[in-house]
Amino acid sequence: MKKGLLYPHDFSTKEELEFVRPTDPRLHIILNVRLLLLMGLILALLGLFNCPLLWFLTTRSFSIDTKNGTFLKDDAPFRYVSGSLHYFRIPQIYWMDRLIKAKAAGLNAIQIYIPWNFHEPFPGKYVFYGNHDVVKFISMAHDVGLLVLVRAGPYICAEWDFGGLPAWLLSINPNMKLRSSDPEFLGPVIRWFQQLFPRLHPYLYENGGPIIMIQLENEYGSYVTCDQDYLSTLYEFARYQLGPNVILYTTDGPSMNDLKCGSSDRRLFTTIDFNVSEALLPNETFSDLENFQPNHPLVNSEFYTGWFDTWGGGRHMTPAEQLVVASETIWNYSTRVSLNYYMFHGGSNFGFWSGGPSASNAAITTSYDYDAPISEAGDITTKYIMLRDLIFKLRKETPPPLPSNITKKAYGTFPVRPYSHILYKLTGGIEAFRPATMESCGQYQGFMAYTTSIESLLSGLLTTATLRLPFIKDVGHVFTTTLSGDDFLYHASVKKPSNVSLPLDANHSVLAILVENQGHINYGEAMVSDVKGILGSVYLGDQELLSWTMTAIDPRNAIPAPTGQKTSPTHPALPEVGKLFTGDLEVPVTDERPQDTFAVLNGFTRGILMINDVVIGRYAPDAGPQISLYIPANALFLGTNTVKLLELSGLQEKCHKNGTSCTVTFRDSMLWRN
């Protein structure tokens, strides 16, 4: 028997088929057996490669019945209760845990955003592995028995850096017409969708996968542009890539003005979002949607379980009892209603991914707990239990046992010591006549140092001069340094145009401005031109400072200072602003594995926490409401773990001014200031 080309063994050889005459009744039996064997082999291979079910074996469909205003799943009326989970905010090791908890709560679907900048951090450089493996997350949801609603953007908001748009767009044109049909914007969008949509296509419901609907854009009715050509182009390209059947939808506020702009292309299915108070008056809340899009399902795509927090504000909480009453009210309003809880599990803004400050809001906290039914660290809450009981009551079903929580551990308090400064002995950089934006230098997150020589201005009799600064986004920390870059004087931290009195010191002849990007704005018209860096000319007295060097800085790679803490009269202590600290967290080697924990930074004010060279995120315990930072187990090793902190505002008394008594406490629960 000869070997086949496609499979290890080909059972349908030419010789065997010729032996049985076409009129022989045995032919049908043999061919049927061979067909079953072949189908079994294909199924086994598809299972091996984790492919969706064979779409050609059964007819699968998900559609809208415009006669009765309902969804049809395989031609039967269907309603969904889904919850938002963001794979990019959850460590990959916990994806299955969170999905199982969503399913155990009675959800039959989840809703996910896909942030463009998370997958294309640099132009043409695509990332779809590890925590970026969105297809794996969708496949895992399918394995658990959950349907999936995908919100593909390109803009998502989500309190995420630049609303999911890549900041490198601002390097093409800082005044680009975002979220419009302008070719400068639409060209990169189409190239991104050419990467994304083919990855999603095999997982559409009709193809055996879990994806029942795909959202284009997000709350576009609230945006200033209101460009119908833009929405139509997104729709037509999605149809071209994904086929004629999958439901393409939008989400907007419930007002008619929002709907007219957000779904100006009426081929898009329209959904709305609203809060607990609005849910108690469903007839009013759904009225504009009913008039705008009659005879369709009534969907709340963002039924808020809580709200996001910003640094310096209070913690936003929605009582579980109110959410349950509102949920039952909206669900019983009509059999046409489906809803998605935003968020069902919030997760964390690890690294530098949280949305940035605007004129009306401070930056988003590292925690994206959202007061959701599943906490930031994956714990079920009272809200989870009450919603679960309601969902199963409405279905007249008995809920399964409650899932268990992930183990947390308190590792104790460990000292940290100063070891360097973020500006210590900078090298490299991009040279320009005047300061350039961070984006134009290819630095889309984090920090950049702007340095220029002021030596020629130090020969006069003046002992001080006025440094005139333009807008700096988001914060500029002003230093003067030695030529060797190993000694610094700190002068001020500024945001808006400011005058800084600068001592003129012949030993510190280099002006260094450390610019801190606190995240790009994620919502509204203010996103346009949200470039970071020094945004204009800098003057010392009447003299414009020219010939700048812009150096991108990764705080994980700072060079240690010789002693970490200078004490001699000629080498004063490193400034507290920009100072780096390090210490060791010991995870007992006798433990089976590291456990989740929460870091409290004692005596620190505002900055960045890093563990084992992983940027956990921003801290600002004095500002609150978040005091501790969630540390997932996969950030830790058994044995010694290196903890680093970059302080950006100065130490508190409990840390002592020289920074020699600073500590970090690792506890087993989250700490908030309400």
Residues 357 and 459 in one domain: no
The answer to whether 278 is a known catalytic residue is no
What is the helix (H) or strand (E) element at residue 172, kind and residue range? helix 169-172
Residues 368 and 458 in one domain: no
Q: Could you tell me the CA-to-CA distances from 144 to 98, 110, 597 in Å, in that order?
A: 11, 11, 27
Residues 493 and 630 in one domain: no
Average pLDDT over residues 623-643: 98
Percent of the chain, pLDDT > 90?
84
CB of 670 closer than 8 Å to CB of 375: yes
pLDDT given at position 657 = 60
CA dihedral 203, 204, 210, 214 (to 10 degrees): 110
Q: Is the pLDDT of residue 452 over 80?
A: yes
CB of 273 closer than 8 Å to CB of 302: yes
Q: Please write the tens of the pLDDT for every residue from 287-339.
A: 999 999 999 999 999 999 999 999 999 999 999 999 999 999 999 999 999 99
Q: Is the pLDDT of residue 5 over 60?
A: no
CATH number at residue 437: 2.60.120.260
* Domain-located, residue 562: no
Of the residues 219, 376, 439, 516, only one is catalytic, namely 219
Quote the CA–CA distance of 365 and 369 in Å, as a whole number: 9
Q: Is the pLDDT of residue 415 over 80?
A: yes
168: which residues sit within 8 A by CB, 6+ positions away? 122, 123, 439, 442, 444
| pLDDT tier, 42 (very low <50, low <70, confident <90, very high otherwise) | low
Report the greatest alpha carbon distance in the chain.
113
pLDDT given at position 572 = 53
Residues 461 and 583 in one domain: no
Q: Is the pLDDT of residue 659 over 80?
A: no
Average pLDDT over residues 122-128: 98
Q: How many domains does the chain have?
A: 4
Average pLDDT over residues 448-471: 89
Q: Is the pLDDT of residue 380 over 60?
A: yes
Of the residues 302, 376, 516, 647, only one is catalytic, namely 302
> Crossing angle, helix 183-200 and helix 228-242, to 10 degrees?
30
* Domain-located, residue 62: no
Q: Please write the tens of the pLDDT for every residue from 612-622.
A: 999 999 999 99
Q: Is the pLDDT of residue 51 over 60?
A: no
Residues 610 and 646 in one domain: yes
Residues 443 and 527 in one domain: yes
* Domain-located, residue 481: yes
How many CB atoms neighbour CB 333 within 10 A?
16
pLDDT given at position 57 = 52
Mean pLDDT of the chain: 91
* Domain-located, residue 53: no
Q: Is the pLDDT of residue 607 over 50?
A: yes
* Domain-located, residue 56: no
| pLDDT tier, 39 (very low <50, low <70, confident <90, very high otherwise) | low
What is the token pair recorded at 485? 């870059």
* Domain-located, residue 41: yes
pLDDT given at position 226 = 94
Q: Is the pLDDT of residue 635 over 80?
A: yes
Average pLDDT over residues 17-29: 32
The answer to whether 15 is a known catalytic residue is no
Average pLDDT over residues 69-76: 98
How many CB atoms neighbour CB 484 within 10 A?
8
pTM for this entry: 0.90
Residues 312 and 356 in one domain: yes
Residues 83 and 168 in one domain: yes
Q: Is the pLDDT of residue 586 over 80?
A: yes
Residues 98 and 188 in one domain: yes
| pLDDT tier, 630 (very low <50, low <70, confident <90, very high otherwise) | very high
Domain of residue 245 covers 75-395
pLDDT given at position 38 = 54
pLDDT given at position 2 = 31
Average pLDDT over residues 178-186: 98
Residue bearing the bigger pLDDT, 163 or 48: 163
pLDDT given at position 573 = 73
Q: Is the pLDDT of residue 15 over 60?
A: no
CATH number at residue 294: 3.20.20.80
* Domain-located, residue 287: yes
* Domain-located, residue 569: no
Residues 211 and 322 in one domain: yes
Q: Is the pLDDT of residue 204 over 90?
A: yes
Q: Please write the tens of the pLDDT for every residue from 214-228.
A: 999 999 999 999 999
pLDDT given at position 459 = 72
| pLDDT tier, 264 (very low <50, low <70, confident <90, very high otherwise) | very high
518: exposed, middle or buried (C-beta count within 10 Å: 0-12, 13-18, 19+)? buried
Residues 241 and 319 in one domain: yes
Residues 429 and 303 in one domain: no
Q: Is the pLDDT of residue 611 over 80?
A: yes
pLDDT given at position 485 = 87
Average pLDDT over residues 455-475: 88
| pLDDT tier, 570 (very low <50, low <70, confident <90, very high otherwise) | very low
Q: Please write the tens of the pLDDT for every residue from 497-548.
A: 999 999 998 889 999 999 999 999 999 999 999 999 999 999 999 999 999 9
| pLDDT tier, 361 (very low <50, low <70, confident <90, very high otherwise) | confident
Q: Is the pLDDT of residue 271 over 60?
A: yes
